[in-house]
Chains A and B, each alone.
Chain A
């Protein structure tokens, strides 16, 4: 599988603030890539650099194998971009927006456009300025999917939306997921957890990891050790064991490199007094919170 988006040592600095620090990321073709991280981590900056909305301070980004600074209209004809803070031409009606954009895209599918408008229940004669935030996002998404793009870039698309609208948008996006690559940034993991195939975790401008969802959920486990008698924390504490919490009889932590045999053996070595070892799988949200806390502690 080739990479449709790539960043190579990508850095961005806004005056004295480092927004992105030597980021190396690859988004494989056909994937739904969730770029997650806390507020201010650099997610939107990454997407704006990929879309040539900002210029990198160092390094480079590639879209379809081309330098993002030279991204062409032909490239954009294969991209659908929706952002939470995008400024739409508010004087246009929904119908005129679609009619206006149609000639820009050689692959515009009128039937698909009509279907999206129907699916999102968008009033054709209503001006965008008279639509609610949710409806505007739907209009933006409909106008970004009607040409059946190869790449659908979504920057925090669900922020501020109610659950119903969010589900409708996700449904709309997923209908295109078979043929498209979808990088999506979000700081709310629960909303993207169900449909992402890959995940990249960004914190303080650094990409902490980037991998397939399955391997990520496989390698994170919450470990709970019940001790026979109180014992001190081992030193040194393994670097991959995050957020340790210890009471006299119980030790809890998150293993970020979990392998059943190796982890159990390590626990037994460091806690010879362990009476019981409990291993619990973690939802993505819990992994995210763990990483955020660990990152903050390290900072």
Chain B
């Protein structure tokens, strides 16, 4: 410990400029974040957005310089033949990062969260988890990359090569990207990538500091990179949903839930023949047995179409592409190969599949008065409503701490003259992540920020109702006796 402190003091003396820059970046970020009051305008928000950019850059440089002060690859560094204990050296580096990256960010988070009206105690899990994410997804990988490079130039080149490789990978095989494609289930993919990255980074750091095996640790880093890109890209959506199902908050008797063809809406069924010969199938589905007080959200659907002669068509894309819901209409939507369709269209076919859905419940309602301060709304965060200067616009905005809330949110603004009102949902994606924080530099996520023009002055207050996801389930279904040809329609070109 004494040696670790001694090395730490040396690093502080050596890297005072990098430390000062990193602390200044955090201070600027905190100042802008705290000043971004809930009812402030877009320019200040943009300034905050720009203000977040230097922060990871300053951290990146600081972490690299801290590690490279005692560079591990190579055979010429003076410290290699001095009595350094590897645990002390690693401890000193960890201490530097903890003191000058994690701790200032913890303070910054606290100041910003408080400025936005959140309770520090209530947001404690988010505080701690955001530090875990910062460490696991940014600090450790950056430290590991620094530990296998000789200096900043080599690290920069490595990062450029990695970014290029990722870009090429995304261009060649977009499906393998780690990016946001699963919406509510994206967190599964992100956490798989995060876990692999964290384990690899910890292994690299421990191995490299204990044994200095640069070639081996570089190979490990490359293997981990490939695993993150390919491995997470190859995780089946159904596996992610299965994980999600195990995390359901409330068990529901699934045997009561049934999925079938909605005969009452048969008129909405279509087999639309496209100009390319392929056929777009749209079949209304009915779901029954949902417990009272619950609402459903459809996450995905897998389906197989079987003809009596043995011909089979199977969806080979992600299940979530095959379900659509508009208002009360839930429909199986898919494009079937034209030759298959022609072969089976006059035969009764059997559709087999599984519907993936989430049940929402525990409806809560809160009122947000038009005033210059925000109020807590359970399931959302802090919300505020205020009128524009022209008295014909109003703004409604909610902020949540550390993560997007998973709840379904419905906002209702009643008109003063009781001629009706406006309902809308905030424009943010729902995440089913069970963790109290998302990976983001900013501790406050702002959503539902609307400048809404109206000719009637809105009445006070705004009503916000929320429902939380309680259970995630997959229901198998089988529909027999449908003849796709009965629903056939053709695309007719519009007259010129």
Q: Which residues of A contact B (CB under 8 A)?
A: 48, 51, 53-55, 73-77, 79, 81, 83, 85-89, 91, 100-101, 103-105, 140, 153
Contacts and interface: CB of A to CB of B under 8 A. Distances in A.
A100 B81 contact: no
Contacts of A79: 81
B53 interface: no
Contacts of A101: 82
B83 A76 contact: yes
B85 interface: yes
Given A81-B81, A87-B78, A100-B6, 15 more contacts: A48-B75, A53-B75, A55-B213, A73-B83, A73-B84, A73-B85, A85-B76, A86-B78, A89-B78, A89-B79, A91-B14, A103-B6, A104-B82, A104-B83, A105-B83
B154 interface: no
A53 B75 CA distance: 5
A109 B213 CA distance: 34
B2 interface: yes
Contacts, number: 48
12 contacts: A53-B81, A54-B75, A55-B213, A76-B81, A83-B76, A85-B76, A87-B74, A88-B78, A91-B14, A100-B10, A103-B3, A104-B82
Interface string B69-94: 00000111111111111000000000
Question: On chain B, which size bracket covers the interface?
Answer: 10 to 19
A86 B14 CA distance: 20
Interface of B: 2-3, 6, 10, 14, 74-85, 213
A140 B83 contact: no
Contacts of B84: 73, 76, 104
B9 to A, nearest CB: 9
A35 to B, nearest CB: 17
Contacts of B10: 100
A79 B75 CA distance: 17
A53 B80 contact: yes
Nearest to A85: B76
A85 B75 CA distance: 10
A45 to B, nearest CB: 10
A216 B89 CA distance: 45
A83 to B, nearest CB: 7
Nearest to A78: B83
A48 B78 CA distance: 13
A85 B74 CA distance: 12
B422 to A, nearest CB: 64
Contacts of A85: 76
A192 B76 CA distance: 23
A51 B81 CA distance: 7
Contacts of B2: 103
Most chain A CB atoms below 10 A, which of B2, B14, B213: B14
A74 B80 CA distance: 13
Contacts of B82: 76, 101, 104
A27 to B, nearest CB: 17
Contacts of A83: 76
